[in-house]
Structure 1
């Protein structure tokens, strides 16, 4: 038997030992390798196969994920994973329900938004995902919630404002004031033009189009993974999030951004233009860092400081261009 692989800083060793022992008792094959990836997510290798084991707070959440990925596959979206059953019985350990996911061997080069080619490939895969989920979203309306972009961002802004006493130790107060003005202008404009989000056809939204949820397999094919945040809503909500993810890599250039479809089409809509101005990434990351009390750790703040400070003047220029468009 190969030695177990352990990432020492990914959790309590005693807990991991108990968890591994439990998994070993339930798997039909001997586990030869066990690697914590992140909280409640583990890589497991047996003699014949490799798997990802993922934990959920409730059996309802797990069953939704199992059902949704099966529906995706059955309706023709093949570029994702399925939940599998290489175990003797349902996995439930110390209050967490675990599902077993087929393992997709990753490519040596991970997907990122650094290149135009990758951005285009991600957009095409997201478009394919929406096209398929549009065919069955009505079946899931009682199972998952409807996306509320305005409410979500209003709450994010409120939390950011509550965090100002802490943020003022790290950021120029004038920057904070200006970013809150961007957010208010954006939310006011979205609210005034909210009908746009209702007239668009509904799909099932992925809800988290970060680069790490696009997985390039060993052969180079791109897959979409992790559907924990799926919601019902117009596809433009996923594209807004995608826009917020790629713009830092485009130096907040409206000209470069408008080269991508369907972004070019959406730029004709006032609601979309207003929404692009909302500093979603900055608010999200600072709120998370303060919630986790990790604002004094440079390893945790390096990325968000780049977004907030180093790119501030580029974002200001981008914001002023958006204002002229409406």
Structure 2
């Protein structure tokens, strides 16, 4: 068996034993990506196996993907019937089967303007399709509340200050909290911008690893765990936050991407770009999981926070001058 992920060996060994006892096909390889995302290769097929904390959550994902594909968005996976006789349930997770998309040797990244624009265009297609059926999911999915979420993220970051002061000088912490409070206050003044219809189904996690290029170079959008209902601008706001580190926090380079040339004329969009969403998210997670002892994770977050601090500060200054 192949285990690409270190740690949790006992869990994965038990899980492999469970799958072997339930599959009608012989399993010849198992590759865990995360604790609840596993690739299984059998003598007949390859499957992605994904776990959900409730059966209702699994059924919702299956229904959403069926609707998405039926309405015309084919650039994603589909759920498949597994060679098992009963529902797979192990250690608090209900497991469903997803088709395995063979990845390209050249993975998708935000490194080039061409790939960043390709991601924007795929996201646009996703929104165009989900706009047609989002009303059917309004009672099933939460409505996105970005201001409330970012207030909670800021409060948690402030609560973590005693720990954060061990890792960086207080002046950095003070300035980042100033950015956050300024951004939230301005967003409050433009609250309607973040709530205006028409609504779409928001993807909610437009990181590079949720864009998958297959062997034929077709780009797919995957992993819909954080879908919600809201205006499409919220996904583009997150996308901008994701690509800014790859363009040296350049206002002009962000503006050169189609879609953002229009959005960057909106004051409310600029207000939200000032919020250090990525820094607060990663530090809150690092402290919650006590993973600051993991040198790789720690170095990545420090690069995001301190290594890019001056570039980010200049970017925020550009926004304020523009406003």
Distance 1:247 1:8 in 2: 29
1:19-38 to 2 correspondence within 5 Å? Answer: 19-38=15-34
Question: Could you tell me which of 58, 63, 70 is aligned with 1:62?
Answer: 58
Could you tell me how far apart the structure 2 residues matched to 1:6 and 1:315 are? 38
Give the alignment's Cα RMSD to 1 decimal.
1.2
Equivalent position to 1:269, from 266, 270, 279: 266
Match of 1:224 in 2: 221
Alpha-carbon contact 1:10-1:39 (below 8 Å) kept: no
Please say which of residues 197-206 and 183-192 is displaced more in the overlay: 197-206
By how many angstroms is 1:26 displaced? 2.4
CA distance in 1 between partners of 2:153 and 2:217 (Å) = 37
Q: Which residue of 1 aligns with 2:184?
A: 187
* 1:313 CA drift (Å): 0.8
Which residue is equivalent to 2:69? Answer: 73
Unpaired runs of 5+ residues, structure 1, are none
Counterpart-to-counterpart distance in 1, 2:3 and 2:16: 11
Question: Following the alignment from structure 1 to structure 2, what is the Cα–Cα distance between the partners of residues 279 and 26?
Answer: 46
| Aligned counterpart, 2:98 | 101
Contact 2:283/2:301 (8 A) holds in 1? yes
Q: Distance in 1 between matches of 2:298 and 2:21?
A: 41
8 Å Cα contact 1:130-1:203 kept in structure 2: yes
Structural mapping, 1:1-326, within 5 Å: 4-7=1-4, 9-13=6-10, 15-86=11-82, 87-326=84-323
**Secondary structure at 1:271's aligned position in 2?**
helix
Distance of 1:7 and 1:115 partners within structure 2: 28
In 1: Cα distance, 2:218 partner to 2:168 partner: 41
Question: Counterparts of 1:304 and 1:18 in 2: how far apart (Å)?
Answer: 33
Q: Deviations over 1:55-84 (max 9, x none)?
A: 111001111111111111100000101111
Give the unaligned 5+ runs of structure 2. none
SS of corresponding position for 1:199: coil
**CA distance, structure 2, for counterparts of residue 10 and residue 70 of structure 1:** 35
Give TM-score, length-normalised by structure 1. Answer: 0.96
Provide TM-score, normalisation by structure 2.
0.97
Task: Measure how far apart 1:27 and its partner are.
Answer: 2.1
Q: In the TM superposition, what whole-angstrom CA distance separates every residue of 1:68-121 from its partner, at most 9, and x where no partner exists?
A: 111111000001011111222211123210011000000001111111111000
Report the alpha carbon displacement of residue 19 of structure 1 after superposing the two structures with TM. 1.7
How many angstroms does 1:47 deviate by? Answer: 1.5
Q: Secondary structure at the match of 2:6?
A: helix
Alpha-carbon displacement from aligned partner over 1:169-202 (angstroms, at most 9, x marks no partner): 1112111111111111110111101111222410
Render the CA deviation track for 1:33-70: whole Å, top value 9, x for unaligned.
11111111111011221110011110011111111111
User: Aligned residue pairs: how many?
Assistant: 322
State the 1:324 CA deviation.
1.7
After superposition, the Cα gap between the structure-2 partners of 1:229 and 1:247, relative to the gap in structure 1 and judged at 3 Å, is same
Contact 1:34–1:42 (Cα < 8 Å) also in 2 = yes
Deviates more, 1:153-162 or 1:295-304: 295-304
**C-alpha displacement at 1:280, in angstroms?**
0.4
